Chains A and B, each alone.
Chain A
Amino acid sequence: MSITIDARGVYYRQLNERVREAIRSGETSIRIFNVTGQRYIGGGLQSPQVTITVEGVPGENMAAFMAGPRIEVFGNAQDGVGNTMNDGQVIVHGLAGDVVGYGMRGGKVFIRDDVGYRVGIHMKGFMDKQPALVIGGCAGDFFGEYQAGGCLVLLGLRGEGRASVVGDYCATGMHGGVMYIRGALRESYLGKEVKRFEMEDQDAARLRSVLEDFGSTFQIDEDLMDFGRYHKIIPVSARPYGQLYAY
């Protein structure tokens, strides 16, 4: 069952109420068009069988606390995509703003183009809950700051000529999970708590399926399996601040 909602002039509370109402009445495919900045789309939704298509620019905190549905955005997204997201998938056919995937604890987020500052910060993972955040373009400062788990991937597409596809303070305070960055990386931008390693076969194996998924979702021609261009970044201390207040 599917439903189409025209968001033109609809306030975010009413819009999100209509989406929840549609899900309650059994709809599984929801198309929202003329979206201009309505906040919290998909926020807190739990049904894994629901697919939401967004046409336009969704507002702040799309998919915040989301735990199941799949949201596909045909346009750019603003700040706070996937804030504390728990499960499900977000696909953005465009760029996204700051703090994408903040405190994300599960599910997948794919952003086709660039993202802003503080992306993937405080991302965490526990046993089988391992979030994945894949960005096609480049990222600003504080990428993966305080990352505690999960997998962050930055592909650096259209980042040729840049001294670094990621900004300063990358992985500062990172103490868990893994980060893969493809393309130019300025060593001095990395936090003191992490080290850069070359890719091993198991890393390639781990990335292959997610990259295939990413490449086909956005119809990317470029070969993303050139694992020689990737850097693997992992923490070298599990508890970098363990001694901080110990004296």
Chain B
Amino acid sequence: MSREQFVRRPESYGKDISACGVIGLINHDGRRVDGSLITRAMRNMRDRGNGLGGGFAAYGIYPSMKDLYALHVMYDAKSDARDLETLLDGCLQIHQAEEIPIFETKKIGSHPYFKRYFVSPPANRPADDGDDDYMVSLVMQVNTQTQHAYIISSGKNMGVFKGVGFPEDLSEFFRLDEYEGYIWTAHNRFPTNTPGWWGGAHPFALLDWSIVHNGEISSYGTNRRYLEMFGYKCTLQTDTEVVAYLMDLLVRRHKLSFEQAAAVFAPPFWKDIDEMDEKERRIQTNLRMVYASAALNGPFAFLLAWSDGMIGLNDRVKLRPLLVGTRKNTTYMSSEEAAIREICPDLDRVWAPQAGRPIVRRLDDDPVRAIAE
């Protein structure tokens, strides 16, 4: 795909303020809400982006297909679909294929062609790989080798919708008010050192991991080369992409806990490790030694989501804002409190997480029990 094709010039250079914005919500009771809610919250932080990227991840949106992998594919043009479909046909069972419904709006300029496929790995494939491993290799193969097509999400009962534009306009474009999810995350982009193109917008996703990120990962080169050793290929030209793949590697394949993965991303300082009790000191020392190349350097506030939860995490010196708010059965995490108040004026609790300490909120958590982490 020609990366320039869908790059849009910013409408105005007169803007003097910037920063990415992130927001997410999780309904612990599994209640599903449509995409207009998170869109309204995100619109409140419009000034954090500049129209060069926006996107959403939604969980619980395909309940009737919940056991199938939902592949969201971005094509240069409609005519490019056939090549990939021939390939997919040969290595997957395609249960349903359809265009992702869009609403043509002037607010979104030229755009790629989007299709989704509900698939399962074939029954007769070699048995040594699990389904997830099989899907990961397929996604990597498609994104590196196929011309004019990218798989931008590949989880079950979830999907990523993203592109170039302001988030609220992309939400209208992708008709997100027609989807209902129990977890939503959203991103408003102000690209700093990589192009604002459709594939480079957040969220980045692999299987059901998704990430939206405010900040900059200066360790991208190290992280990317490290991931290549495990078969993950970065193709989307945005630093944040590495975090989605690192989550898959650390948590799904290496079975680290979320807290341990967070310690890999935002490692405690050696001077603080020295003060820990012996067991914790050994764990943290080992994590730093073994996963040095997976540590994230640079400022970040990000929201990671998967089918069963959402995590908010800051870099270890808190160079980007992140707020947590709870109300009854819902936990919100956002760059700005005002964006949460926009959709939930009365919150039971609001607090700012500590640097480098993950806020892990699982689907079946009782939000009332939430303590100040």
Contacts and interface: CB of A to CB of B under 8 A. Distances in A.
Interface string B305-325: 000000000000110010100
Interface residues of A, number: 24
B318 A37 contact: no
Interface of A is mostly: loop
Contact of B355 (A58, A76, A140): A140
Contact of B47 (A35, A39, A98, A116): A39
Contact of A114 (B17, B338, B342, B351): B351
Contacts of A114: 351-352
Contact of B337 (A76, A117, A141): A76
B355 A37 contact: no
Contacts of B354: 140, 167
B44 interface: yes
Which of B44, B338, B339, B342 has its CB near the most chain A CB atoms (within 10 A)?
B338
A98 B337 contact: no
Contacts of A141: 317-318, 355
B339 A37 contact: yes
A29 interface: no
Contacts of B244: none
Contact of B44 (A37, A79, A97): A37
B350 A95 contact: yes
Given A36-B341, A37-B339, A39-B17, A76 B350 contact: yes
B338 A37 contact: yes
Interface in A35-69: 35-37, 39, 56-60
B45 interface: yes
Contact of B342 (A37, A79, A98): A37
B248 interface: no
B336 A37 contact: yes
A60 B323 CA distance: 14
A57 B318 contact: no
A78 interface: yes
A239 to B, nearest CB: 25
A39 to B, nearest CB: 7
Contacts of B355: 117, 140-141
A134 B229 CA distance: 52
Interface in B332-355: 336-339, 341-342, 350-352, 354-355
Given A36-B341, A36-B342, A59 B352 contact: no
Contacts of A79: 321
Given A36-B341, A39-B17, A95-B350, A117 B318 contact: yes
Interface in A133-159: 140-142
Given A59-B336, A78-B337, A141-B317, A37 B45 contact: yes
A69 B55 CA distance: 40
Contacts of B317: 117, 141-142
A78 B352 contact: no
Contacts of A98: 318, 321, 352
Interface residues of B, number: 19
B343 to A, nearest CB: 10
Contact of B338 (A59, A140, A167): A59
Contacts of A58: 338
B338 A36 contact: yes
Interface string A62-90: 00000000000000101100000000000
A58 B47 CA distance: 14
B186 to A, nearest CB: 15
A247 B338 CA distance: 50
A56 B336 contact: no
A36 B44 CA distance: 8
Contact of A116 (B318, B336, B339, B342): B318
Contacts of A36: 44, 338, 341-342
A57 B337 contact: yes
Given A36-B44, A37-B338, A57-B341, A97 B352 contact: yes
A78 B339 CA distance: 11
A118 B323 CA distance: 16
A78 B321 CA distance: 9
Interface in B55-103: none
B112 to A, nearest CB: 31
A12 B46 CA distance: 12
Contacts of B318: 98, 116-118, 140-141
Given A36-B342, A56-B341, A116-B318, A78 B350 contact: no
Contacts of A140: 318, 352, 354-355
A84 B163 CA distance: 37
A141 B44 CA distance: 28
Nearest to A118: B318
A115 to B, nearest CB: 9
A58 B336 CA distance: 10
A21 B110 CA distance: 42
Contacts of B336: 37, 59-60, 78
A13 to B, nearest CB: 10
Interface of A: 12, 35-37, 39, 56-60, 76, 78-79, 95, 97-98, 114, 116-118, 140-142, 167
Interface of B: 17, 44-45, 47, 317-318, 321, 323, 336-339, 341-342, 350-352, 354-355
10 contacts: A35-B338, A36-B338, A37-B336, A37-B337, A78-B321, A95-B350, A98-B321, A98-B352, A140-B355, A142-B317
Given A37-B341, A56-B338, 15 more contacts: A39-B47, A57-B337, A58-B338, A59-B338, A60-B336, A95-B351, A95-B352, A97-B321, A98-B318, A98-B352, A117-B317, A117-B355, A118-B318, A140-B354, A140-B355
